[in-house]
Chains A and B, each alone.
Chain A
Amino acid sequence: MKSLKRQEHKFSDSFIQLEVLQAPRPGGENFHRFEDKLDTIGLFPLRPTQLEIFQVNVGKMCNQTCKHCHVDAGPDRKEIMTPETMQQCLDALDGADAAGYPVKTIDLTGGAPEMNPDFRWFVQELHKRGKHVMVRCNLTIILANPKYHDLPQFFKAHGVEVVSSLPHFSARRTDAQRGDGVFEKSIKALQMLNAVGYGQEGSGLQLHLVYNPSGAFLPGSQVSLEKEFKQQLKRQYNIDFNSLFVITNLPISRFLDYLVQSGNYEGYMEKLVNSFNPAAAANVMCRNTISVGWDGQLYDCDFNQMLDLTVAGAPSHIKDFSVEQLSQREIVLNQHCYGCTAGAGSSCGGQTA
């Protein structure tokens, strides 16, 4: 499967995606504007709380081409972060430490972040600085090439918290979203991570799984799903993990394409809008996160990054990073934000309400 960008698909243009999200419904009415919805509960303009998570997207290159991917990542994407930009990230973090605004958690994502040739150097540098590093590992990368087989040991040596997608404990549901054979490889990779201590009690090595629905429906309760995943993965494959992060699919990029193609767009948006939860809105991740793109641009979250919505009211490149100025900004909102406020809420760390 090719990326939308390689296909020259209309949704590879973020402007067209935003047009779809803001277009009137077939009956002529518009969905309630997200900004207005926040206004009704006194949250507009939406401001940051305290910066806790520095999320870096080190590139769109990936060994998989998942059908729901909001990054439109894949083997044909060549945009990756250079070591110079990584150095700017390190300088920005050092500067924040010196200014008395230390950011403890660094969340590395992609694409498959491990495919960036400078990934290991970057992790080592972050580890040296005492940062807590999370890596969003797609699991199959560990088996994709012999040069990646030692990733579990590398992660362990640097105290990396591993966060991995596994949309379901059934092969059918996982492969439908992530590609044929992905489930089997993911299970093998999880067993390799377990073998070096990940997800094992007392090891201190955290392994979390990410569940997101393989279709146009909302996720259920994180507590119940985690219980079910733990039972099924233990019984069928003897796999242990720490927590399940339950994430809602946002209507952008490939998932937006799926919704439109399958005739589910209207119904899905209606469900997101009708499930708006004020408690989830107060806890959205963009309030404590900053997202850095492969080219060093700054965004309120990874979704805004994919829609090319850079931060507003503060310098928007990592070379000019200022926690103080960023803390004064207004978070950029649009209709896709309903995805983070529906039901029990959604963030890169799971449900929020």
Chain B
Amino acid sequence: MEKTYYNPADLAKFGNIAEFSPDLAKKFFDYYGDVFKEGELSEREKSLIALAVAHAIQCPYCIDAYTTDGLEKGASEGQMMEAIHVAAAIRGGASLVHGVQMMNKVKEITM
């Protein structure tokens, strides 16, 4: 194993996952390619969603890839940071909304 879990050079080797399972890798990369094509959402909007998700799942490969991709697609710094705040709001909100469960339980077992 490497001395660290993450090596930036591994990002460019993503395609190598086909080595151990070519059929599934092909299906995945075909699907991946289609997902990011311009549809009802523009390529730039999809890139910003990917950037937000990358931060929610805290994937350094994805952050590296979709920061560059966002710049290439013309996203501004402001747009990219707003996307990350969306991820942060959902993550924070997801914790906080469970506060209702806590409150329900408190009310159930207290006088």
Contact = CB atoms under 8 A, between A and B. Distances in A.
Interface stretch (B38-46, B49-57, B97-105): B38-46
A217 B71 CA distance: 7
B76 interface: yes
Nearest to A168: B76
A73 B91 CA distance: 49
Identify which of A211, A217, A220 gathers the most chain B CB atoms within 10 Å of its CB.
A220
A169 B74 CA distance: 9
Interface in B54-93: 68, 71-74, 76-78
Contacts of B43: 220-221, 224
B74 A218 contact: no
A224 B72 contact: no
Interface size class of B (residues with CB under 8 A): 10 to 19
A173 B44 contact: no
A211 to B, nearest CB: 8
Main secondary structure, interface of B, reads: helix
Nearest to A343: B72
Interface size class of A (residues with CB under 8 A): 10 to 19
Contacts of B76: 168-170, 172-173
B78 A224 contact: no
A215 B73 CA distance: 13
Main secondary structure, interface of A, reads: loop
Contacts of A173: 76-77
Contacts of A38: none
Contacts of A169: 76
B77 A217 contact: no
A210 to B, nearest CB: 13
B77 A219 contact: no
B39 to A, nearest CB: 12
A225 interface: yes
Given A170-B77, A172-B77, A219 B72 contact: yes
A224 B38 contact: yes
A168 B38 CA distance: 21
A213 B73 CA distance: 10
A228 interface: yes
Contacts of B78: 170, 172
A224 B42 contact: yes
A213 B44 contact: no
Nearest to B73: A220
Contacts of B72: 213, 217-220
A220 B74 contact: yes
Interface string B15-44: 000000000000000000000001000111
Nearest to A211: B74
A228 B44 CA distance: 9
A93 to B, nearest CB: 38
Interface string A208-245: 00010101011111001101110000000000000000
Contacts of B44: 220, 224, 228
Contact of B73 (A168, A224, A229): A224
28 contacts: A168-B76, A169-B76, A170-B76, A170-B77, A170-B78, A172-B77, A172-B78, A173-B76, A211-B74, A213-B71, A215-B71, A217-B71, A217-B72, A218-B72, A219-B72, A220-B43, A220-B73, A220-B74, A221-B43, A221-B73, A224-B38, A224-B44, A224-B73, A224-B74, A225-B73, A225-B74, A228-B74, A229-B74
Given A211-B74, A224-B43, 7 more contacts: A172-B76, A213-B72, A220-B44, A220-B73, A221-B43, A221-B73, A228-B44
